[in-house]
Structure 1
Amino acid sequence: MKAATRQRRLSLAAGFLALSPIGQMALASAPLAAPETPALSSTLPSGLPGLPSLGEVMQRNLSTGLAINGFDPVSYRLGAKPAAGRPEYELLQDRFVWRFASQANLEAFRDAPDIYTPAFGGFDPTGIAEGVAVESDPSQFAVIGSRLYLFRSADNRQRFLQNAELLAQAENRWSAVLRLIAR
């Protein structure tokens, strides 16, 4: 369930509870106190980038702030399987925390991030081709030419590799999908 939908449902439930006799009794017996409104940024662990914002274009794990779930983006081009990044090789770039398997990979990314950053912000290109931003699984990937593509599933990956038109459709729809992304 999307966060906005969940928030609306919680808001409606709280409204109904406040209007019910049980809710009114609970409110009447509760002591009055000033509502706590801590600064949102102060509740985040130090070292993490700010909260996601409207128009964010890179997929990241919202609980950790890690781009592509902490996988090393350089490792996709070095071997058959992507490597998990390590906390000691972290880089904060463009509001995203990237992890790397080695210092050399971190430096390669820092020198040329456009080469290693996944296409379509790390979203599944088959979803983009359909006009939807679909979260991907970093273990499902393909490097085609000079671009890294991440997919939701092995089936989506296979479908993308077999149908060259999907890439053209995704390229055509990316700007429209980009405007819809609110994370």
Structure 2
Amino acid sequence: MRKSILFAAVASLALAACGGAAEAPAETGSETVAAAESTVTDLGGTPSGPVFTENQGDTLALSGYDAVSYFVGDGVPVEGSEEFTVKYQGYDYRFASEDNASTFAADPAKYVPAYGGYCAWAIGANNALAPGDPNVYEIVDGTLYLNFNEDVQKRWEPKKDEFIKQGDENYPTHDASEHYKA
């Protein structure tokens, strides 16, 4: 119960800081729960670049994987649950636990994947958008980078610093409304 109250407090502070409108929470006993059961909180904001989703217009980011799971414990990514969803910059991020959702809500920029979850090699080497696979990743200097597949990851590895530098320049040139086209 203490975690739920703490999460509600963190979520309220985050909403107030972002100036976003929130639905009034429902009271159940001494616990506060979000009115919309599948969305824990909406942090507001707008994307600064494209975010990879399965289909254009979808809002599920990172293919539903828990962004915090890459950084905690054994660092193995796990799928999130609709029950623990945080909306950030218009996209839904799912988490495996309330603790991970709270951690993300406190500092989302720390956990979202670079380049909106698009392939780090494609954006760095070719200034192109290609899907990032949430199971093919590396954390470099505290930032999560996804790649298309293991073969691409092998091409990215030896020159990742160069690809990251170029990706950091290329990604902002893409509009937030863009989506990967096969």
| TM-score between both structures, scaled by the size of structure 1 | 0.65
SS in 2 for 1:171: helix
Question: Which of 159, 162, 167 is residue 170 of structure 1 equivalent to?
Answer: 167
SS in 2 for 1:179: coil
Amino acid at match of 2:162: E
SS in 1 for 2:70: helix
**Pair 142,90 (structure 1): closer, same or farther in 2 beyond 3 Å:** same
SS in 1 for 2:78: coil
Find the counterpart in structure 2 of residue 110 from structure 1: 105
Structure 1: stretches of 5+ with no match in the other structure: 1-46, 50-54
Find the counterpart in structure 2 of residue 153 from structure 1: 149
What's the offset of the Cα at 1:180? 8.3
Runs of 4+ in 1 over 6 A off after TM superposition: none
Find the counterpart in structure 2 of residue 88 from structure 1: 83
**Pair 69,120 (structure 1): closer, same or farther in 2 beyond 3 Å:** same
What's the offset of the Cα at 1:179? 3.4
Amino acid at match of 1:156: V
Partners of 2:177 and 2:158 lie apart in 1 by: 27
Structure 2: stretches of 5+ with no match in the other structure: 1-37, 43-47
Find the counterpart in structure 2 of residue 52 from structure 1: none
Amino acid at match of 2:54: N
**Pair 175,56 (structure 1): closer, same or farther in 2 beyond 3 Å:** closer
SS in 1 for 2:53: coil
1:120 aligns with 2:111: no
> Cα RMSD between the aligned structures?
2.7
Partners of 2:76 and 2:93 lie apart in 1 by: 17
Structure with max Cα Rg: 1
Residues 70 and 99 in structure 1, CA contact (< 8 A), matched pair in contact too: yes
Residues 120 and 132 in structure 2, CA contact (< 8 A), matched pair in contact too: no
Amino acid at match of 2:136: Q
**Pair 116,180 (structure 1): closer, same or farther in 2 beyond 3 Å:** closer
What's the offset of the Cα at 1:106? 0.1
Larger RCO, structure (CA 8 Å, separation 6 or more): 2
What's the offset of the Cα at 1:166? 1.6
SS in 2 for 1:165: helix
1:77 aligns with 2:71: yes
> May I ask how many residue pairs the two structures share in their alignment?
134
Find the counterpart in structure 2 of residue 68 from structure 1: 62
Percent of paired sites with the same residue: 24
